[in-house]
Amino acid sequence: MNIALVPARCGSKSIPFKNIKPLHGRPLIYWVLKALDDATSIDIIYVATDCQKIADTVEALGLKKVTIYRRLAENAQDESSTESVMLEFFDQLKIDQEETLFLAQATTPLLQSTDIEQAYTQYVNSGADSLLSCVRVKSFFWDENGTPLNYDYKDRPRRQDFDGALVENGAFYINKVGNIIKANNRLNGNIVIYEMPEYASVDIDEEDDWLIAEKLMQKYRPSPEI
């Protein structure tokens, strides 16, 4: 069985109730859940939340594969790691270690079901232990000491000749439950990368991110039926 887990806690200091704030006509979390729900490779989706308001909103969406997991308050604090709620979830629901887990982030609304399907095919065919999504960024990176990290400033490449760097966008991760428990980490072993388009780098954390996401959604995601 392939299980998806989407953490969505109440607390959000930058944007209150961010996970269920309307974006492009639907609650923010809808877009990730819809992508997972439409993916044939996903069997069941759990939204791990400590919030009744989020639970009510998610249940009202009527997505057939989605169910609510009530996460413990101790793993829903500002300082709580995603790994802590993953391990709690495995333990509380006695998830078989042979199951495959898709960890998805509620705040990356440009994720689509085709990404899930293609990434899962890549994961299976590669024989990798784990997979993460990235976007390619054609930026020149420096450290605080004035040292370039990914190019030679004396021989500055043209953008079209520059490979750039792959940056983790946090949209989703794939791994076996047993691997995650053993490593206490969403990634381990032989790791492969699924590359998403650059526009999918949007991860909503601040108000400006919201404005950018709304414009990109208008271009790349069809309007939902209301």
Quick check: 35 and 108 in contact, CB under 8 A? no
**Pairwise CA distance, residues 54 & 20, whole Å:** 7
Q: Which two tokens stand for residue 161?
A: 């000749």
Task: Please list the active-site residues.
Answer: 156
Instruction: For 148, list phi and psi in degrees, rounded to 5.
Output: -70, 140
Cβ neighbours for 131, distance < 8 A, ≥ 6 positions apart: 119, 122, 123, 173, 174, 175, 191, 192, 193, 194
d(CA 29, CA 47): 10
Residue 117 CB partners (closer than 8 Å, separation 6+): 39, 40, 41
